[in-house]
Structure 1
Amino acid sequence: MEIQELANTLEAVLFASGEAVESRRLCEALGTDISALEEAAAVLENRYSEGSGINLLRLDSAYQLATKEQYSPHIKAVLEIKRSSALSPAAMEALTIIAYNQPVTKAFVESVRGVDSSGVVNSLVEKGLLCEAGRLDLPGRPIAYATTENFLRAFRLSSLKDLPPLPEQSSQVTIDEVIEAAQAAENEE
């Protein structure tokens, strides 16, 4: 199959799917290899770069068709979609902990945050940003959580490798340094 025909076929499959489809599965279904698939995806990306309301998302090792963000108000108006609510600081904190350490349990999130996080984690699962990633082989068989493709889409990431790096330990301020600075400021007064 020539690249243009492969690109058209890929477009049709992704449109019909409506969901992200793994590259491996696409290669099997389309009877092609990964390099030809990537070339066809590049053709679609080029096609959508100008004069289209659609773009091609790469999500880890998967592809998905999506509308361009600039058209979301019109889409929401037509489909009568309610504005999605912003995440609370607690939800962002829990999501960050899970994204950088996944898969993790609620107990891990709670130990890092220092407060009960059950409600926050459950809320993130309901929003489709987290999913159950199995159970750990520990007493009680706790559920481990990981981020989803919706998480990648929401934060405009192609993969978890695109997360910004964590600051180095040496550049972080410790509580002892904060206390010492406060004491030094008091002594100067």
Structure 2
Amino acid sequence: MIADRNLPLVSVVVAGGCATLLAAGTDTGQAGTILAASFGIGTVLLALVVWRARCVADRYMRRWVETLNNSIRALGVDGEGRRDWLPGMPLEMQIDHALDGLTRLSESERINQSHATELAEERGREQEQFFARLSHELRSPLNAILGYTALLSEQAADKADTMLRADLDRIRDAGLRQLDLIDDLLTIAALKNEHSRAP
């Protein structure tokens, strides 16, 4: 494969070397003619090498552009909702068109990513506000009940009412268990919220 690609270049070197060897063994007139022919052949072969390199580069670029455009077509549009791909346009225009399409797609993707990040941050703020409000709404009445129960318990102790004091102790114990349950529930919800927002 490599030898096949380098064949024209090898031909130029061989033709130039043969012409030089032939020119060295002849008189001045023939040497000039052989050298002129050698340079002519070398120039033609060099032009063929350049032409072949251009064809290979052109074919490579067309494949690259086609792959690029297939990717863009797979997305359905060129970034602005247009479907204006023209396969017959010149290679330079194809490249420009493909790169413009990718630029628009990457810009669109960046905007979508930014929008998604903003939505996630807003959702996180709303959840934090919700948990703060929930904590306040659940704890405030329970703290009031526990405080009033403690006040009634002191009054029952002063009056030596053991039956009322036992009932108030049960209310206090149930309230404290409820407060622990609320704390655990809010802690679990906060941890789950942090875990879901972690990348």
Please identify which structure carries the higher strand content.
Answer: 1
Structure whose alpha-carbon radius of gyration is higher: 2
TM-score (norm: length of structure 2) = 0.20
Please identify which structure carries the higher helix content.
Answer: 2
TM-score (norm: length of structure 1) = 0.20
Greater relative contact order (Cα < 8 A, sep 6+): 1
